[in-house]
Structure 1
């Protein structure tokens, strides 16, 4: 079969050339569509559940929130691990699945169990939520706000209500996490002595504020062939609206919130702060990338969107990035590119020295880009990313090993051939002579990498792309 393939290729050079051009074009297209990262993503298939428990200590969070959710998650199909962290006012439950489970299917399973777990939580607790669909390499862009006139509360408000909603519209962005600054709140500071003087309780103040800060629909009225929508508008718009809420009426005299409490604006209770480059405290954020996206393309879209947002912000407020994963990716690409170019030139020089024939050296060296393009096709087919591990392990010496043997044999046979013998026949005979040993030599090299494909877990995610890329390059 090998001999017939060689004979056919030598008799149909135009067809072989067209197939090579087609393969090269497909390889280039694959190269431009392969996700590029700095390192392989070794994050397992996991779903995080974030459960807020305002005011509860870590002990109560574990007993009342974390444990019931953990129990509900046990027994899920293809589940490998359930772990949790209980902090002050927050419980984080991580549900880990087997590596070949689809992340969206895993989230669906968790969501179904989470519905039943909510019945076991204390009344009045916020609804538990699932974390964003991202990975350990998902923190692709970080920035802070700079302003010489706005305080931390105003900066954080701009981040939460202006910048964050716009960034979440960028394709490939799954979440924007704000941190630092001060979260603005309208606070009602109740005076206990005034409650006692009016004979009121704190629960009555809570109920009054809750019941008098809402919008209620009242159907519609038909009049003159028209519909008039009825609604009760009671949502507080200003601090004055909150102050004038009636808590109770005594002897026909209303007792307002302002009679028993002070209404003001303040900051949400926080457990940390963000300081930046000797500027003091700042408001910052992290842009999270959707799992499986191309980080370079997503960051490019984020930068474009931030440029648009900067134009719409107040003149004295600007977004300043301080971490851009593109820098790491570009440095990694530069390292790989330098190694490939220098390695290719070194191979050509060595081939020329030992073969003594520039034409033969260039012919062997042409195997390098063609093998790489074929490897890119295989990487695209298998969904691999181009990174330092998958591309940095390629050894050009192995790639050109078979071509060196074949070209060297052809050069030797041509130098000893009779002048009357056709060059084509000599080349065909020389190629067939070493074709089988070369094929088995390449297969043996590939077989050396086969055990790596059996690795599981983090080791498998780290080294399996390397073995597959080398195998694709050798087959090319």
Structure 2
């Protein structure tokens, strides 16, 4: 009870503490990440590998089994399961809870790189992705469409050379993917008569290309002559390195690739086609850094888009296709409107029953201070503002108001009995502090079992539970 007496007899000290909580709370609000759903790493990953036109048995033998053997040595793996289908291998890895998933992804990528060259010809590169439950799956964070009266390869070139580097330099952006258009490929058109004449096989050509360090082709087309499509990651200044690559030496005779095949720098077939108002279009997807404020990152991206639009060739237009900050802004706007309405109703009801302006003002100030303290706890424990935490705040808001009303009304009652305002504040608060503490702690304890949930249920309820608990404890401390 000495704390109550100290709070009443030392108003300057209490005011300074309140000001500190207010400033830290405002700082925390600015720094807290804004998200639709909690940003949580689930201890699951999947590895997807495509091998077009291959049977499930072939996929199992030549894709799934080698990858499973390679990743078995990764630490903290709890269970591995796989599904081999027509043209596709899907391997699901479940890790021990508490595993650093970013480090686990690096380990998986390292192990897969060791067997990548052993995968069959025509198999796509294995893709590692983190597991996200269906309820938490959202569309891409931010995406734009680039369209205009240009060819697909021109659109893709502009997207890769100008738009992607500009967006990657933005703070909070971790990855930019350009989808659509035509990929640049190196075509090796082998002359069947010449390869038979020199007794050279397609495997020898493929092996030499792999030694040059280029990525493998996604397929082979046989039509009169044999064609090998070779995908490249970086542009080539010229094709002489491939053309002059030595396939075989027979005494003084040297057989090069250009002696048995034609090498062409061209574009492959588009994997998907998108159009806007009849014009070709490509999609640019943007991924944000984990924990970054969605609204702030989107504002930076939009500012950069406006800057890029003035520098793009005439006739090119960038259209925002998806913006995940829109529902967040709408939710925050509705929350603000409802909060203002609630404050007005609370003020009106308190004034009608207590018949004094001081009581509503005091109670509203405690509500504001409790909210700032709750937000500060969010920042300390690295909890973002999302739909679940906002729901927890809303649930704890009622108890927060109740505690303040009980204390203020009891203080006013003691004042009406003839006590001075200082004595009434001390005795009135001391009289109800234990019932309020017991009531609040009973509610807090009721949520403790949620802390021991496991699996996906923990992801749903933990942020919600912590939001309710922090708001109730803050209301108790301020009241």
Equivalent position of 1:141 in the other structure: 142
Residues 280 and 80 from structure 1, CA distance in 2 versus in 1: closer, same or farther, beyond 3 angstroms? farther
Equivalent position of 1:295 in the other structure: 294
Equivalent position of 2:104 in the other structure: 106
In structure 2, what is the Cα distance between the partners aligned to 1:440 and 1:302? 49
Equivalent position of 1:406 in the other structure: 407
Q: Offset of 1:85 from its aligned partner?
A: 5.8
In structure 1, what is the Cα distance between the partners aligned to 2:94 and 2:211? 44
Residues 66 and 186 from structure 1, CA distance in 2 versus in 1: closer, same or farther, beyond 3 angstroms? same
Equivalent position of 2:458 in the other structure: 460
- 2:39–2:291 CA contact under 8 A, matched in 1: no
- 1:296–1:326 CA contact under 8 A, matched in 2: yes
Residues 254 and 205 from structure 1, CA distance in 2 versus in 1: closer, same or farther, beyond 3 angstroms? same
Secondary structure of the residue aligned to 2:105 is helix
- The yes-or-no answer on 1:64 pairing with 2:59 is no
- What is the 5 A alignment of 1:296-315? 296-315=295-314
Calculate the TM-score normalised by the size of structure 2: 0.79
Equivalent position of 1:475 in the other structure: 473
Calculate the TM-score normalised by the size of structure 1: 0.79
- 1:132–1:175 CA contact under 8 A, matched in 2: no
- 1:138–1:290 CA contact under 8 A, matched in 2: no
Stretches of structure 1 that go unaligned for 5 or more consecutive residues are 216-234
12-21 vs 399-408, which deviates more?
399-408
- 2:51–2:122 CA contact under 8 A, matched in 1: no
Residues 113 and 342 from structure 1, CA distance in 2 versus in 1: closer, same or farther, beyond 3 angstroms? same
Equivalent position of 2:155 in the other structure: 155
Alpha-carbon deviations, 1:86-138, whole Å to 9, x = none? 57766454433345322233234435644665586559978756558999558
- 1:155–1:283 CA contact under 8 A, matched in 2: yes
In structure 2, what is the Cα distance between the partners aligned to 1:288 and 1:90? 26
- 2:21–2:373 CA contact under 8 A, matched in 1: yes
Secondary structure of the residue aligned to 1:319 is strand
Q: Offset of 1:56 from its aligned partner?
A: 5.1
- The yes-or-no answer on 1:96 pairing with 2:97 is no
Residues 182 and 117 from structure 1, CA distance in 2 versus in 1: closer, same or farther, beyond 3 angstroms? closer
Equivalent position of 1:231 in the other structure: none
- What is the 5 A alignment of 1:18-29? 18-29=16-27
- 2:179–2:282 CA contact under 8 A, matched in 1: yes
Q: Offset of 1:381 from its aligned partner?
A: 1.2
Equivalent position of 1:15 in the other structure: 13
- What is the 5 A alignment of 1:310-321? 310-321=309-320
Residues 99 and 348 from structure 1, CA distance in 2 versus in 1: closer, same or farther, beyond 3 angstroms? farther
Alpha-carbon deviations, 1:127-183, whole Å to 9, x = none? 7565589995583111121121x2112212322344334433333323222222221
Equivalent position of 1:220 in the other structure: none
In structure 1, what is the Cα distance between the partners aligned to 2:247 and 2:423? 105
C-alpha RMSD of the superposition: 4.0
In structure 2, what is the Cα distance between the partners aligned to 1:283 and 1:133? 27
Residues 475 and 213 from structure 1, CA distance in 2 versus in 1: closer, same or farther, beyond 3 angstroms? closer
- 1:244–1:256 CA contact under 8 A, matched in 2: yes
- 1:73–1:95 CA contact under 8 A, matched in 2: no
Q: Offset of 1:325 from its aligned partner?
A: 1.1
Alpha-carbon deviations, 1:189-225, whole Å to 9, x = none? 34546756x566453883698499799xxxxxxxxxx
- What is the 5 A alignment of 1:278-357? 278-279=277-278, 281-357=280-356
In structure 2, what is the Cα distance between the partners aligned to 1:164 and 1:377? 37
Q: Offset of 1:389 from its aligned partner?
A: 1.7
- 2:274–2:280 CA contact under 8 A, matched in 1: yes
- The yes-or-no answer on 1:358 pairing with 2:383 is no
Residues 179 and 61 from structure 1, CA distance in 2 versus in 1: closer, same or farther, beyond 3 angstroms? farther
- 1:273–1:281 CA contact under 8 A, matched in 2: no
Q: Offset of 1:236 from its aligned partner?
A: 7.0
